Amino acid sequence: MEVVYKKPESLKDETIIYCPGCGHGIIHRLIAEVVDELGIREKTIGVAPVGCAVVAYNFFNFDVTESAHGRAPAVATAIKRLLPDRIVFTYQGDGDLAAIGTSEIIHAAARGENITVVFVNNAIYGMTKGQMAPTTIPGMKTTTTIEGRNVKYHGYPLKVCELLSQIDGVYYVERTSIDSIPNIIKTKQSIRKAFKYQIENKGFSLVEILSPCPINWKMTPKESMDWIRDVMSKYFVLGVFKDKGG
Amino acid sequence: MRKYLLTGCEASAEASIHAGCKFYAGYPITPQNRFPEYMSKRLPEEGGVFIQAESEISAINMVFGASVCGFRALTSSSSPGISLKQEGISYLAGCELPAVIINMNRGGPGLGDVTPSQSDYFQATRGGGHGDYRTIVYAPWTVQELYDLTYFAFDVADKYRNPVLILADGILALIMESVKFKKIKKRFPKKNWALTGCKGRKPNSIKSLFLTPGILEKHNWKLYRKYKKIEEKEIKYERYFCEDADCLFVSFGTCARICYETIKILREKNFKVGLFRPITLWPFPYKELENTIERMKKIIVVEMNLGQMIDDVKIANKKNLPIYFYGRPGGGVPTPEEIYRFFISHLVGKKDKLWK
Read off the pLDDT of residues A144-202 as tens digits, 9 standing for 90 and up. Answer: 999 999 999 999 999 999 999 999 999 999 999 999 999 999 999 999 999 999 999 99
Distance CA B310, CA B121 (A): 10
Query: Cβ–Cβ of A86/B196 closer than 8 Å?
Result: yes
Contact B9, B76 (CB under 8 A): yes
Query: Cβ–Cβ of A75/B68 closer than 8 Å?
Result: yes
Query: Cβ–Cβ of B66/A62 closer than 8 Å?
Result: no
Residue B23 with chain A: CB contacts under 8 Å: 78, 81-82
* Nearest Cβ partner for B23 among A66, A82, A86: A82
Residues B109 and B210 in one domain: yes
pLDDT attached to residue B101: 98
CA distances A51 to A18, A70, A97, A129, A193, Å, are: 11, 10, 10, 11, 25
pLDDT attached to residue B354: 45
| Mean pLDDT for back-to-back runs of 10 residues, chain A (246 residues) | 92 93 98 98 98 95 98 98 98 98 98 98 97 98 98 98 98 98 98 98 98 98 98 98 96
Whether the predicted interface score ipTM is above 0.90: yes
Provide the CATH number for the domain around residue B297.
3.40.50.920
Torsion of CA A79, A81, A86, A87, to 10 degrees: 80
Residue A111 with chain B: CB contacts under 8 Å: 51
Residues B222 and B243 in one domain: no
Cα nearest neighbour of A103 on chain B: B54
Report chain B residues touching chain A, CB-CB < 8 A: 22-23, 25, 49, 51, 53-55, 57-59, 61-66, 68-69, 71, 73, 87-88, 91, 95, 195-200, 203-209
Distance CA B255, CA B248 (A): 14
- Domain chopping of chain A, boundaries: 24-243
Residues B256 and B135 in one domain: no
Is B89 part of any domain? Answer: yes
Domain residues for the domain of B29 are 3-187+205-233
- Cis upstream peptide for B163 (omega within 30°): no
Query: Cβ–Cβ of A86/B73 closer than 8 Å?
Result: no
Distance CA A59, CA A16 (A): 8
Annotation: CATH topology of A24-243? Rossmann fold (3.40.50)
Provide the CATH number for the domain around residue B97.
3.40.50.970
Residues B269 and B225 in one domain: no
Distance CA A51, CA A92 (A): 8
pLDDT attached to residue A246: 86
b/e for B148-171, b at 16 or more Cβ within 10 A?
Answer: bbbbbbbbbbbbbbbbbbbbbbbb
Residues B220 and B252 in one domain: no
Distance CA B143, CA B114 (A): 19
The residues of chain B scoring below 50 in pLDDT are 354-356
Is B170 part of any domain? Answer: yes
Residue B57 with chain A: CB contacts under 8 Å: 71, 74, 103-104
Contact B54, B26 (CB under 8 A): no
Residues B169 and B28 in one domain: yes
B214, B233, B252 — which closes off a domain?
A: B233
Q: What pLDDT, in 10s, does the model give residues B320-329?
A: 999 999 999 9
Torsion of CA B11, B14, B18, B19, to 10 degrees: 80
Is B200 part of any domain? Answer: no
Helix B215-233 with B143-160: angle, nearest 10 deg: 140
Query: Cβ–Cβ of B68/A54 closer than 8 Å?
Result: no
Distance CA A116, CA A88 (A): 7
Query: Cβ–Cβ of A74/B205 closer than 8 Å?
Result: no
Residue B55 with chain A: CB contacts under 8 Å: 103
Residues B101 and B13 in one domain: yes
Residue whose C-alpha is closest to residue A46's, from A1, A94, A107, A91: A91
Is B199 part of any domain? Answer: no
Judged on CB neighbours under 10 Å (0-12, 13-18, 19+), B325 is: middle
Closest Cα in chain A, distance from residue B131 (Å): 14
* Nearest Cβ partner for A66 among B54, B69, B95: B95
Pairing relationship of beta strands A239-243 and A170-177 according to DSSP bridges: antiparallel
Distance CA B338, CA A161 (A): 62
Is B343 part of any domain? Answer: yes
Residues B181 and B264 in one domain: no
Contact A157, A164 (CB under 8 A): no
Torsion of CA A133, A138, A142, A144, to 10 degrees: 70
Residues B224 and B283 in one domain: no
Distance CA A194, CA A172 (A): 7
Q: What pLDDT, in 10s, does the model give residues B36-88?
A: 999 999 999 999 999 999 999 999 999 999 999 999 999 999 999 999 999 99
